[in-house]
Amino acid sequence: MTATPATPKAKKPSSPRAAKKAAPTPPPMFSFKAGTGAVAKVTAGGPVPAKGCDVAAVAVYKNGELSAAAKRADIDTEGLVANACKADKNLGNSGSCRVVFNTAKAGAPVYVLVGLDEADKLSIKSLRKATGLACDAVKGLKPAKVFFALNQEVPKKSTDKETAALCARTITESFYSFSACKKQDDDAAAPPAFELACTKSTLAAVEKGAAIGHAIGNGMQLTKDLGNLPGNICTPNYLAETAKALAKQYKLGVEVLDHKKMEALGMFSLLSVGKASSEPPKLIVLKYNGAKDSKEAPVVLVGKGITFDTGGISLKPGEGMDEMKYDMCGAASVLGTMKAAAEMKLALNLIVVVPTAENMPAGNASKPGDVVVSMSGQTIEILNTDAEGRLILCDALTYVERFNPAAVVDVATLTGACIVALGHVNTGLFSPDDDLANELFNAGQNALDTAWRMPLDEEYHEQLKSNFADMANIGGPPAGSVTAACFLQKYTKAYSWAHLDIAGTAWHSGKAKGASGRPVPMLAEFVMKRAKA
């Protein structure tokens, strides 16, 4: 008797449950009601913490020199502040921070003293560092209301407004945490309410500055959240849904081009990158109309949105490959900049374009040697499927010609070679247009989110020559970040263009692994300067 083999029970296709979706971290709150504020009170002698304020952050200088706010704190604590400075000779130096409990008075705030070195040499850089240190101390104290007076220490080259903006941004950045993918949200406690100190005469400037800083900080937060989300959640479709949510919140125009529409436009370079993935590629377009003249030429930001980069058939080595979830940080940064610009209601027209795909190996993936036709009509020999960023960007860069842009800036985690050249300090800045390059360079300097200009000499273009197509997608080992930029340059002849390679600056590796939110501060500064006041 032969037993009929048992038919295996049809297994349900396993459905790997994705972790819960990212809930945005609640940003710290700011309030600015000089004299009547819940946290700060303006007196004839200057702003002081109000009743019910838990913590006050004030500046101290080298050699026991007290800032005006620290002098008032010294009176409030009956000399404890000056004593602390006397006892600790290091306090006052940049990088120093000390908590002083006000034992002189019941119900009085705890003082956080932060060092700023020498008053007449104060820079925005040291102010940012001190603000970060103050925030770390504040976190440990878990207060509800914080009086913050460091913004009253205005560097020579800065203004009340700019200083308030930098401090508000730094505070917002400091309270960022990502726990969307953890079962238990350890950082669930709402961040404290901050109030920046001001006088009656600086109130308007501090209010404006704080609103700017808060908007940029919130934009960075969106950029970090998107970057930190894993590839199984943050897919091309997730980026499209995020853009649609932004459009709804800020009344922006939005369009998401699917495979069919991109095919009709001839975007075969972009499509070739996404074709081996089960997540379909998209082209996302977001439009903000803030200029008085709705016909005014827009600034266009294009962000690389590779939601995961395995390298494709030119597969990347396994070690550290998880970090290729960050290959959509260009996209995240232009979306974050859009959020900041819309929040600030900037008077300019801004368009954000995100080509997005997942770069996977499979039976139908592109192979080294394949030739594709880009939307521009130029053909590309794909010698390395891991040089995919430029393949999606080139079609997006051709697409944006239709907007007659005032300027186009693309942002991309484009090359490991850029990290070799500039490390994790400066973003790579490429542009044939000196004015645009200087504009972006200066924006980076002002926003403490710096870039360094790289060359685009004609000679480098030689390296992209192909025997079989109009160009190859790689230029060999020498000057890898430059030849990548040269590739993009071939698609940007119709307008003023710059390229930012953020491979080294978009995220941190190691123990503090996480998205940095860069270059949102630089781009926000750039569009703010372009906007009519």
Active site residues: 316, 390
Task: State yes or no: residue 358 binds ligand BES (CB under 6 A).
Answer: no
Shortest Å distance, C-beta 310 to Zn ion: 9
Q: For residue 76, what are the CA distances in angstroms to 54, 105, 464, 503?
A: 14, 8, 68, 49
Query: To which H or E segment does residue 206 belong?
Result: helix 203-228
* Cα–Cα distance measured from residue 390 to residue 270, given in angstroms and rounded to the nearest whole number: 9
CB-based contacts of 114, cutoff 8 Å, min separation 6: 57, 58, 59, 60, 96, 97, 130, 131, 133, 134, 137, 150
Min dist. Cβ of residue 54 to ligand BES (A): 42
> Is 202 or 483 the residue whose CB approaches Zn ion more closely?
483
**Which distant-in-sequence residues (6+ apart) come within 8 Å of 427 by Cβ?**
444, 449, 450, 451, 452, 500, 501, 502, 504, 505, 518, 519, 522
The verdict on 305 binding ligand BES (CB under 6 A) reads no
Q: Are 197 and 17 in contact (CB under 8 A)?
A: no
Tell me if 500 contacts ligand BES by CB under 6 A. no
Burial of 325 (0-12, 13-18, 19+ CB in 10 A): buried
The entry of ligand BES, Mn ion, Zn ion, none that residue 488 binds, CB within 5 to 8 Å by partner kind? none
Give the H/E segment covering residue 170: helix 160-174
Distances (CA, A) of 416 to 165, 185, 257, 280, 324: 33, 34, 29, 26, 11
**Which three-class secondary structure state does DSSP give residue 161?**
helix
Q: Determine the Cα–Cα distance for residues 351 and 319; give it in Å rounded to an integer.
A: 37
Nearer residue to Mn ion within complex by CB, 358 or 439? 358
Residues 6 or more apart whose Cβ sits within 8 Å of residue 500:
330, 409, 410, 411, 412, 427, 428, 429, 430, 440, 451, 519, 522
Distance from chain centroid for Cα 99: 31
Q: Is position 358 an interface residue for Mn ion (rule: CB under 5 A)?
A: no
> Three-class SS of residue 483?
helix
Q: 52 contacts which partner out of Zn ion, Mn ion, ligand BES, none, CB within 5 to 8 A by kind? A: none
Q: Does 386 bind Mn ion (CB under 5 A)?
A: yes
At its nearest, how many Å lie between ligand BES and the CB of residue 384? 4
227 part of the interface to ligand BES, by CB under 6 A: no
* Residue of this chain nearest to ligand BES (CB atom): 416
Sole binder of ligand BES in the list 503, 527, 528, 531 (CB under 6 A) = 503
Pick from 461, 406, 457, 412: nearest CA to 436: 406
Identify which of residues 5 and 318 has a Cβ nearer to ligand BES in the complex. 318
* Closest CB to Zn ion among residues 160, 358: 358
Among residues 207 and 386, whose Cβ is nearest to Mn ion?
Answer: 386
Site for Zn ion in 291-310 (CB under 5 A): 306, 309
225 binds, among Mn ion, ligand BES, Zn ion, none (CB under 5 to 8 A by kind): none
Write out the binding residues for Zn ion, residues 320-359 only, by CB under 5 A. 327
Q: Tell me if 501 contacts Zn ion by CB under 5 A.
A: no
Between β-strands 471-472 and 497-501, what pairing exists: parallel, antiparallel or unpaired?
unpaired
Binding residues for ligand BES restricted to 385-404, rule: CB under 6 A:
386-389
Given candidates 26, 416, 423, 478, which one binds ligand BES under the rule CB under 6 A? 416
Output the smallest distance, CB 519 to ligand BES, in A: 14
Pick from Mn ion, ligand BES, Zn ion, none: which does 411 bind, CB < 5 to 8 A by kind?
Answer: none
Residue closer to ligand BES, measured from CB, 138 or 503: 503
Size of the residue set binding ligand BES (CB under 6 A): 15
Give the nearest distance from C-beta 414 to ligand BES in angstroms: 6
Instruction: Please give the span between the terminal C-alpha atoms of the chain, in angstroms, as a whole number.
Output: 91
Pick what 417 binds: Mn ion, ligand BES, Zn ion, none; C-beta below 5 to 8 Å, kind-dependent: ligand BES
How many of the chain's residues bind Zn ion (CB under 5 A)?
Answer: 4
* Phi, psi values for residue 257, rounded to 5°: -85, 130
| Sheet strands side by side (includes 97-100) | 29-30, 193-196, 145-148, 55-60, 110-115, 97-100
Q: How far apart are CA 446 and CA 433, in angstroms?
A: 20
Q: Is-cis flag, bond preceding 155, omega within 30?
A: no
Of the listed pieces 68-76, 182-190, 274-282, 379-387, which binds ligand BES according to CB under 6 A?
A: 379-387
Of 32 and 487, nearer to ligand BES (C-beta) is 487
Q: Which two tokens stand for residue 195?
A: 């109030």
Contact (CB, 8 A) for 316 and 309: yes
Locate all alpha helices (DSSP H) within 447-514, ordered by sequence: 458-461, 480-489
Select the residue interacting with ligand BES from 76, 162, 279, 309 (CB under 6 A). Answer: 309
- 167 neighbors 150 (Cβ within 8 angstroms): yes
Among 174, 415, 450, 463, the residue binding ligand BES under the rule CB under 6 A is 415
Tokens of 173: 């950045």
What residues from 313 to 332 belong to the interface with ligand BES (CB under 6 A)? 327
Q: Using CB distances below 5 to 8 A depending on partner kind, what does residue 253 bind out of Zn ion, ligand BES, Mn ion, none?
A: none
Q: How far is the CB of 316 from ligand BES (least distance, A)?
A: 7
Q: Is 389 in the site for Zn ion (CB under 5 A)?
A: yes
Site for Mn ion in 291-330 (CB under 5 A): 309
What Å distances lie between residue 109 and 87, 100, 150, 277, 320, CA to CA? 21, 9, 16, 56, 46
The verdict on 207 binding Mn ion (CB under 5 A) reads no
CB of residue 47 to Zn ion, shortest distance in Å: 49
Residue number with CB closer to ligand BES (408 or 503): 503
User: Which stretches of the chain bind Zn ion, using CB under 5 A?
Assistant: 306, 309, 327, 389
User: Which stretches of the chain bind Mn ion, using CB under 5 A?
Assistant: 309, 386, 388
User: Which stretches of the chain bind ligand BES, using CB under 6 A?
Assistant: 309, 327, 384, 386-389, 413-417, 474, 480, 503
